[in-house]
C-alpha cells in the first residue's frame, strides 16, 4: 500500500505539471492563478493520504509521519506564496512548473522512505496469562568514568523493565529476573518479543542499553547518545568472517575492552537491582526501600511502579541472556554465584578468552557451573564444526564441553539477525546484517518458546530441560 500511495502522489504531481503545460492563454498560468492551484493540489495530496489511512498498512506511525509533516509544510508554503503573489499577473514560466513537479516528487519520495524500510510490526502473539507493562530507569555508576566522553561524567546504564501489568496483585518475591544485553550497535528493543513473552508468563525482564555500543539511547539529561563510530567500524571489520586485516592478538585487544565495559555494565545492574530490592546489604528479597537510591534516574510517575517491580522479583532466581556481543556478556557474567541460568543467542563467547598465544586464543579453563543454553545460526554451527575438525580452540566449543549443564541447538537456514525481531521490523536492514531463508516469524516464535522453556526449568523448577540438536 505504501507503493500505491507513492504512485498516486507522483501521478498528481505529474498531472498538475501536464495540466499547466496544456493551458495556452497566459492569464490562465499567471503566478496568482498557478500558486492558488498549487495550494489546492497540495491540499488534495494531503486528503489522499488522510483517506488512505483507512486502508491496510497506511497509518500515522513513524513510517509515514515524515510524509504527513512534509505535506502539511508544503500546504503552508503554497499558501504563503499564494498570498505573496495574489496580485501578480505575470505568467508562470514552464521551467518553474517542471521544477515544482520534480522537487515535489523528490520530497514525497524521500519522506516516504521509512515506509519501505520498516514494516508495521507490532509484536508476536503472547502465550502467557499476564498483560505486559513497561517502564524505564537509568543507573549512574559513580565508580566508573564515562570513557567515551571527556567531560568527567560517570557511566550511565539505561534499564528497560518488562513485567506483568498486575504485579501489585502478585506475591512479593515471586517473579524470576531475566537481564538482557543487546548486540553490537544494537538496541534495547532488539528482542522485544522475547521480553514480552517472558513477562506474560510471570517474569521481570530488564533489557539494558550499553551507551555508545547501542545504536542510540538517552542519558539522564535527555541527550541522544548514538553509537561510537570507532566501535561501529571495528565491530563491522571483526564481524566480517572473511577479513584478514586483523590478527588474532589485535582482535583480542579490541574485543577484551568491549567485554570489560559490557560486563561491568551488567554486573553493576545486577548489584544495584539486588541492593534496591533489599536483597543485599542486610535486607532480604521482597523488602524494597521506600526511596530508591540517589543514583537511580526515572520519571517520578514510575517511582511506585518501579518499587513494586523490585518487590516482586525473586533475587534467588536470576537469568542472563543476550544476542551476539550481548550473549557473550551474559555468558561471562553468568559465572556469578547468584546467577541461575544463562542463554547465549548466536554470540561468540569472547569474554571467556583470557589472552592470545602463538596466534590462538587462550581460554578460561574453569568449568562452567551455571546451566547454559547456546542457540546459534546454521553458519555459526558450521564454524563450530570446522573448529572441532581442525583442532582450533574456539570459546563456544570449549565452554559447552566443560559446562556441568550445557545445551546447544542451531536453526537451519538462519542468519545472525534471525535471533532478533529486526527481520520482522525491518527486513531490509536485517538482510544487510545477515538473515537466512527461514520464515522470520516462525523462527523467533520457536526461539522464544525454547527460551521460555529453559528459564522455566531453571528459574521456576518446571522439570528437566530438553532441546533438539537443530530446528
Q: What digits encode the pLDDT tens for the residues 385-427?
A: 999 999 899 999 999 999 999 999 999 999 999 999 999 999 9
- For residue 357, give the nearest of 257, 255, 252, 259 by alpha carbon: 252
Q: Establish how many alpha carbons lie within 13 A of residue 125's alpha carbon, considering only the half-sphere containing its beta carbon.
A: 4
**pLDDT tier at 88, thresholds 50, 70, 90:** confident
pLDDT at 17 > cutoff 90: no
For residue 145, count CB atoms less than 10 angstroms from its CB and return exposed for 0-12, middle for 13-18, buried for 19 or more.
Answer: middle
- For residue 235, give the nearest of 208, 262, 217, 273 by alpha carbon: 262
Report how many helices (DSSP H) and strands (DSSP E) the chain contains, helices first: 15, 13
For the chain, give every domain's residue range. Answer: 2-117, 132-459
Q: Classify each residue of 44-67 as buried b or exposed e, where b means 16 or more C-beta atoms within 10 Å of its C-beta.
A: ebbeebeebeeeeebeeeebbebb
3-state class percentages of the chain: helix first, strand second, coil last, to nearest 5: 50, 20, 35
Mean residue pLDDT of the chain comes to: 91
**pLDDT tier at 227, thresholds 50, 70, 90:** very high
**pLDDT tier at 95, thresholds 50, 70, 90:** confident
Give the three-class secondary structure for 121.
Answer: coil
End-to-end CA distance of the chain: 34
pLDDT at 241 > cutoff 60: no
- How many residues are listed for the chain in this entry? 471
| Lowest mean pLDDT, pick from 100-104, 177-181, 276-280 | 276-280
Q: Residue 384: in which H helix or E strand, if any?
A: helix 378-390
Query: Which pLDDT belongs to residue 23?
Result: 73
**pLDDT tier at 82, thresholds 50, 70, 90:** confident
**pLDDT tier at 81, thresholds 50, 70, 90:** confident
Q: Establish how many alpha carbons lie within 13 A of residue 162's alpha carbon, considering only the half-sphere containing its beta carbon.
A: 25
pLDDT at 96 > cutoff 90: no
Query: Which pLDDT belongs to residue 93?
Result: 81
Query: Which pLDDT belongs to residue 245?
Result: 65
What is the percent of the chain with per-residue pLDDT over 90, rounded to a whole number? 73
Query: Which pLDDT belongs to residue 442?
Result: 97
| Lowest mean pLDDT, pick from 22-26, 60-64, 172-176, 181-185 | 22-26
Match 572473511 to its residue by C-alpha cell.
242
Phi/psi for 373 (5° steps) reads -125, 130
> CA 220, 223, 224 angle in degrees (round to 5)?
120
Taking the C-alpha atoms of residue 163 and residue 457, their distance in angstroms, rounded to an integer, is 19
Query: Which pLDDT belongs to residue 281?
Result: 47
User: Mean pLDDT across the stretch 37-43?
Assistant: 90
Query: Which pLDDT belongs to residue 27?
Result: 63
pLDDT at 286 > cutoff 60: no
Alpha-helix residue ranges (DSSP H) falling in 112-220 = 113-117, 192-200
pTM attached to this predicted model = 0.88
All three cell numbers of 325:
556481543
Enumerate long-range contacts of 398-404, CB under 8 Å, 24 or more apart.
398/352, 398/363, 399/331, 399/349, 399/352, 399/363, 399/368, 399/372, 400/368, 400/372, 400/374, 402/365, 402/367, 402/368, 403/367, 403/368, 403/369, 403/371, 403/372, 404/367, 404/368, 404/369, 404/371
User: Mean pLDDT across the stretch 187-191?
Assistant: 95
Q: What is the CATH architecture of 132-459?
A: 3-Layer(aba) Sandwich (3.40)
pLDDT at 273 > cutoff 80: yes
Phi/psi for 383 (5° steps) reads -65, -40
Higher pLDDT, 25 or 267: 267
Query: Which pLDDT belongs to residue 47?
Result: 93
Amino acid at each position: 500500500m505504501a507503493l500505491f500511495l507513492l504512485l498516486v502522489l507522483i501521478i498528481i504531481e505529474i498531472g498538475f505539471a501536464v495540466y499547466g503545460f496544456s493551458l495556452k492563454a497566459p492569464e490562465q498560468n499567471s503566478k496568482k492563478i498557478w500558486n492558488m492551484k498549487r495550494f489546492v493540489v497540495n491540499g488534495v495530496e494531503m486528503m489522499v493520504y488522510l483517506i488512505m489511512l483507512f486502508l491496510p498498512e497506511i497509518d500515522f506511525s513513524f513510517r509515514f509521519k515524515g510524509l504527513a509533516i512534509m505535506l502539511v509544510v508544503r500546504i503552508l508554503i503554497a499558501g504563503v506564496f499564494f498570498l505573496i503573489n495574489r496580485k501578480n499577473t505575470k505568467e508562470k514560466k514552464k521551467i518553474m512548473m517542471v521544477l515544482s513537479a520534480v522537487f515535489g516528487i523528490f520530497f514525497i519520495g524521500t519522506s516516504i522512505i521509512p515506509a519501505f524500510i520498516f514494516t508495521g510490526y507490532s509484536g508476536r502473539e503472547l502465550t502467557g496469562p499476564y498483560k505486559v507493562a513497561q517502564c524505564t530507569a537509568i543507573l549512574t555508576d559513580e565508580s566508573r568514568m564515562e570513557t567515551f566522553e571527556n567531560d568527567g561524567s560517570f557511566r550511565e546504564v539505561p534499564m528497560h523493565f518488562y513485567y506483568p501489568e498486575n504485579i501489585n496483585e502478585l506475591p512479593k518475591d515471586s517473579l524470576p529476573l531475566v537481564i538482557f544485553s543487546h548486540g553490537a550497535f544494537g538496541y534495547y528493543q532488539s528482542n522485544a518479543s522475547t521480553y514480552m513473552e517472558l513477562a506474560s508468563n510471570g517474569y521481570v525482564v530488564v533489557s539494558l542499553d550499553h551507551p555508545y555500543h547501542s545504536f542510540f539511547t538517552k542519558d539522564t539529561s535527555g541527550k541522544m547518545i548514538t553509537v561510537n563510530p570507532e566501535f561501529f567500524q571495528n565491530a563491522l571489520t571483526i564481524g566480517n568472517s572473511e577479513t584478514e586485516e586483523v590478527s588474532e592478538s589485535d582482535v583480542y585487544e579490541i574485543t577484551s575492552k568491549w567485554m570489560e565495559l559490557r560486563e561491568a555494565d551488567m554486573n553493576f545492574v545486577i548489584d544495584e537491582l539486588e541492593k534496591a530490592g533489599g536483597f543485599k546489604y542486610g535486607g532480604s528479597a521482597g523488602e524494597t526501600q521506600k526511596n530508591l537510591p540517589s543514583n537511580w534516574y526515572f520519571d517520578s510517575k514510575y517511582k511506585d511502579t518501579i518499587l513494586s517491580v523490585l518487590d516482586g522479583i525473586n533475587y534467588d532466581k536470576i537469568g542472563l541472556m543476550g544476542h551476539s556481543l550481548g550473549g557473550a556478556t551474559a555468558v561471562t557474567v553468568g559465572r556469578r554465584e547468584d546467577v541461575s541460568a544463562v542463554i547465549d543467542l548466536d554470540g561468540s563467547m569472547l569474554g571467556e578468552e583470557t589472552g592470545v598465544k602463538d596466534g590462538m586464543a587462550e581460554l578460561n579453563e574453569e568449568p562452567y557451573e551455571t546451566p547454559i543454553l547456546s542457540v546459534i545460526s546454521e553458519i555459526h554451527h558450521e564454524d563450530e564444526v570446522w573448529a572441532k575438525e581442525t583442532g582450533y580452540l574456539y570459546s563456544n566449543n570449549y565452554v559447552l564441553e566443560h559446562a556441568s549443564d550445557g545445551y546447544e541447538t542451531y536453526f537451519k537456514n538462519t542468519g545472525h539477525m534471525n535471533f532478533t525481531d529486526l527481520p520482522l521490523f525491518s527486513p531490509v536492514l536485517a538482510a544487510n546484517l545477515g538473515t537466512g531463508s527461514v520464515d522470520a516469524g516462525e523462527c523467533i516464535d520457536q526461539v522464544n518458546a525454547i527460551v521460555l522453556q529453559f528459564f522455566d526449568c531453571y528459574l521456576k523448577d518446571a522439570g528437566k530441560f530438553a532441546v533438539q540438536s537443530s530446528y
